[in-house]
Amino acid sequence: MKSGAIPRFALAIALVTCLVLLVQGVGWALVAALALVWGGTLWLAAARPPETPGPAPRRSLSRDMMGELIEQSQTPIIVTEKKRIAIANREARDLLGSHIVGQDVRMALRQPEAVRLLENEADGTAIVRGLARRRDIWRVARKQLGDGLAVIEFVNRTAEADISRAHTDFVANASHELRTPLAAILGYVETLRDDVEQLDPATAERFLGTIQREARRLQDLVSDLMSLSRIEAEKHDLPDELVDLTALVERAARDGAGAERAARLQLQTGGPCHVRGDSQQLEQLVRNLVDNAFKYGGEDEPVTVALDCTNGAKAVLRVQDRGDGIAAEHLPHLTRRFYRTDPGRSRASGGTGLGLAIVKHIVERHQGRLDIASTRGEGSIFEVRLPLTALEETPPAG
């Protein structure tokens, strides 16, 4: 039906109804009023334009609803309206400060890379350094929503960069450590081959001794690298072997001291105590700590190895030397790979620079804690705490 056309069927019904009312004696005035109302209604209905189906109107999220959606996200997110920050979730407020809401987003971020991204009205990403701290790295992504709104997401890439840098440093340090003994070995071998007829037996014996020492150092370095790699590969697998820690510490401490230093070893252990652990790794931990204590302690001073299993739910292993001590600025870095406080002394004593890194990773795998304390002129104390296990406990399900 076209707009403005009164439906004939409805008009016919109205006329018939009015005639019926007149025949039955209804007053003509009432019938006329009824016809007038009925006709006006039909005319209005015909005059209304027909409704045509169309897409449902778009519903826009309110600011409150949008804020609730992003508030619990673990990723910092802000919503801008005409380049001003309208919404910032909890992570974004922690990163940039709670005062940023209402600020110009370019003033809130301030980094040139971020400002260039925000000046552009199109979607895009940028890598921003030093956003909150000097060495942090963030990937900033911007998405336009229309009506002047945009969502900006911040993804922290600092850990990935640190891992990449650590791998690069590790390869560089390992290459250097391997190249040094190899160069010594090759140099002395070439000298022996070139001047074998001119060298007296004493000099040749000295050269061979150097070659043997450097070869053992190379062997120790490769062995420690393999140990560290294996420990890191297993760091998420909790060990479930029931270990008598008292017997293990006594055995490993004597091995670490060796026959030539055994007289200076002071062992202080009590009754048996047990932990869930990897016996080979725990023995390596004790040997490394004891060997380090003898290498860097006083030449004729004793090394004390004490095990206390009466301290609540923890077994406490303490290895103490009486050497020159370690400066405070070095203590946080001692467990880094190839870190040395005195490189010359470390290499002369046969150290690989990996002993304490191995100790740290073994302690972490056993859910323990490593503490290092040192006083210049008095010596150092390395303390390891491991969770105790009652004998009646059953191994965890595999």
Residue 29 banded pLDDT, cuts 50, 70, 90: low
Give residue 322's pLDDT: 92
> Is residue 390 scored above 80 in pLDDT?
no
Same domain? For 315 and 357 the reply is yes
Q: Which residue has the tokens 């809401």?
A: 101
SS3 content of the chain, % helix, strand, coil (to 5): 50, 20, 30
**What is the distance in angstroms between the CA of the first residue and the CA of the last residue of the chain?**
78
Is residue 26 situated within a structural domain? yes
Closest by CA to 220, choosing from 177, 160, 274, 279, is: 177
Same domain, 261 and 370: yes
The model's pTM is 0.58
Domain range enclosing 329 = 237-387
> At 381, is the pLDDT very low, low, confident or very high (cuts 50, 70, 90)?
very high
Per residue in 311-369, pLDDT (tens digit) is 778 999 999 999 888 888 988 888 988 887 776 666 666 667 888 999 999 999 999 99
Q: Is residue 395 a part of any domain in this protein?
A: no
CATH label of the domain that carries residue 242: 3.30.565.10
d(CA 357, CA 367): 16
Distance CA 151, CA 80 (A): 6
**Which of these three, 231, 257, 275, is where a domain ends?**
231
Backbone angles phi, psi at 224, to 5 degrees: -65, -40
For residue 154, the one-letter residue type is: F
Identity of residue 167 = H
Q: How far is residue 157's CA from residue 164's CA, in Å, rounded to a whole number?
A: 11
Residue 203: give its domain's CATH number: 1.10.287.130
Considering only the C-alpha atoms of the chain, give the largest distance between any 2 of them, rounded to a whole number of Å: 153
Instruction: Please tell me whether residues 78 and 110 are part of one structural domain.
Output: yes
Please determine, for residue 200, whether its predicted confidence score (pLDDT) is greater than 60: yes
- Rounded to whole angstroms, how far apart are CA atoms 54 and 185? 86
Same domain? For 149 and 15 the reply is no
Q: What is the mean pLDDT of the chain?
A: 81
Best CA proximity match to 352, nearest among 270, 292, 271, 278: 292
Instruction: With respect to residue 393, please indicate whether it lies within any of the assigned structural domains.
Output: no
**Domain match, 151 and 165 both:** no
76 vs 148, more confident: 76
Are residues 241 and 383 located together in one domain of the fold?
Answer: yes
Total of domains in the chain: 4
Residues 103 and 79 sit within 8 Å (Cβ to Cβ): no
Percent of the chain with pLDDT over 70: 79
180 and 258 housed in the same domain = no
Return the structure tokens found at 278: 């990897």
Specify if 307 maps to a domain: yes
- The pLDDT value recorded for residue 35 is 65
Q: Do the Cβ atoms of 264 and 303 come closer than 8 Å?
A: yes
The CA distance from 182 to 48, in Å, is 98
Residue pLDDT, tens place only, 203-250 = 888 888 888 888 888 888 888 888 888 888 888 888 888 999 999 999
Which residues lie closer than 8 Å to 182 by C-beta, 6 or more apart? 214, 218
How many Cα atoms are found within 13 Å in the side-chain-facing hemisphere of 313?
Answer: 5
CB environment 333-353: b (16+ within 10 A), e (fewer):
ebbbbbbbbeeeebbeeebbb
Same domain, 137 and 187: no
Neighbours of 4 (CB within 10 A): 10
User: For residue 55, is it within any domain?
Assistant: no
Q: Please say if the pLDDT value at position 382 is more than 80.
A: yes
**pLDDT of 91-119, one tens digit each?**
988 888 888 888 888 888 888 888 888 87
Domain boundary (114, 141, 156) is at 156
Query: Are 216 and 245 part of one and the same domain?
Result: no
Residue with token string 């652990």 = 277
Report yes or no on 56 lying in a domain. Answer: no
Q: Are residues 356 and 219 in the same domain?
A: no
- Strands 137-146, 149-156: pairing is antiparallel
37, burial (CB in 10 Å: exposed 0-12, middle 13-18, buried 19+): exposed
- Name the E strands within the chain: 77-81, 84-88, 124-129, 137-146, 149-156, 241-244, 265-269, 274-277, 303-311, 314-320, 369-375, 379-387
Residues 28 and 78 in one domain: no
Domain boundary among 208, 231, 254: 231
Going by the DSSP 8-state scheme, the letter that residue 232 receives in this structure is: H
Question: Per the domain annotation, does 179 fall within a domain?
Answer: yes
- Residue range 286-302, pLDDT digits in tens: 999 999 999 888 888 99
Q: What is the pLDDT of residue 385?
A: 94
Looking at the structure, tell me whether residues 184 and 89 fall in a common domain: no
Q: Locate 153 and state its tokens.
A: 């997401």
Instruction: Measure the CA angle with vertex 346, ends 344 and 349; round to 5°.
Output: 110
Read off the DSSP letter of residue 104: B
In a domain, 136, yes or no: yes
Asked whether the predicted pLDDT for residue 167 surpasses 50, the reply is yes
Look up the CATH number of the domain holding residue 74.
3.30.450.20
Q: Yes or no: say if 103 and 84 are a contact pair by the CB < 8 Å rule.
A: yes
